Amino acid sequence: MKFLGLLMALFCAMIMVMIPQVSAKRYLVGSKMGWASNVNYTVWAQDKHFYVGDWLFFVYDRNQNDVLEVNKTNYESCDTEHPLANWTTGAGRDVVPLNTTRHRYFVSGKGFCYGGMKVSIRVEKPPPPPKAAPVTSDAPRTSYRSQYVLPLAFAIGAVWDSFLRVLG
């Protein structure tokens, strides 16, 4: 009978794994235009919310560009002498994890910054998970959190187990 309880818990855990986790998002910087000199990134960023755990994805011509992270002062003046980070990998496809709540400033270090090739974003705390899981599947950040579902699965399994033991 213990075996059945365990099976039940395993089953619940499996269901949990099959529920898609859509809590983190990867933003393609500049959308279809990518990281280029003719995009207004202020406009690109203004209707978006960036949360801790999301990523920025820079796609560009690796022979022409790079991705440097600077502070606010150097973002405004396009000074790339002392970048906070150089995210350039050389592949023209760079991923930046947004792992802290603060403003982040990225510029092109190849002179295009002066023409507006720079992007600033504010990284926010992720919104709390919804209390009741809605049925709609197109809501982006609604998902079961594994830290709640797994203990729940085991709790159900344990209750089921003792229930069967009472019967048997």
Q: Which residues bind ligand NAG (CB under 6 A)?
A: 40, 42-43, 66, 68, 71-74, 82-83, 86, 88, 90, 97, 99-100, 109, 116
Gap between the Cα atoms of 105 and 32, Å rounded: 21
Distances (CA, A) of 13 to 5, 6, 7: 12, 11, 10
- Report whether 143 contacts 129 (CB < 8 A): yes
Q: Residue of minimal CB distance from ligand NAG?
A: 116
Gap between the Cα atoms of 8 and 66, Å rounded: 52
Cβ distance to ligand NAG smaller for residue 12 or 74: 74
Q: Closest distance between ligand NAG and the C-beta of residue 140, in Å?
A: 23
Gap between the Cα atoms of 144 and 133, Å rounded: 7
According to DSSP, the residues that pair with 121 across neighbouring strands are 104
Q: Closest distance between ligand NAG and the C-beta of residue 113, in Å?
A: 10
Cβ distance to ligand NAG smaller for residue 51 or 154: 51
Cβ distance to ligand NAG smaller for residue 94 or 161: 94
Cβ distance to ligand NAG smaller for residue 34 or 116: 116
Phi, psi torsion values for 82, nearest 5 degrees: -130, 70
Q: Closest distance between ligand NAG and the C-beta of residue 132, in Å?
A: 31
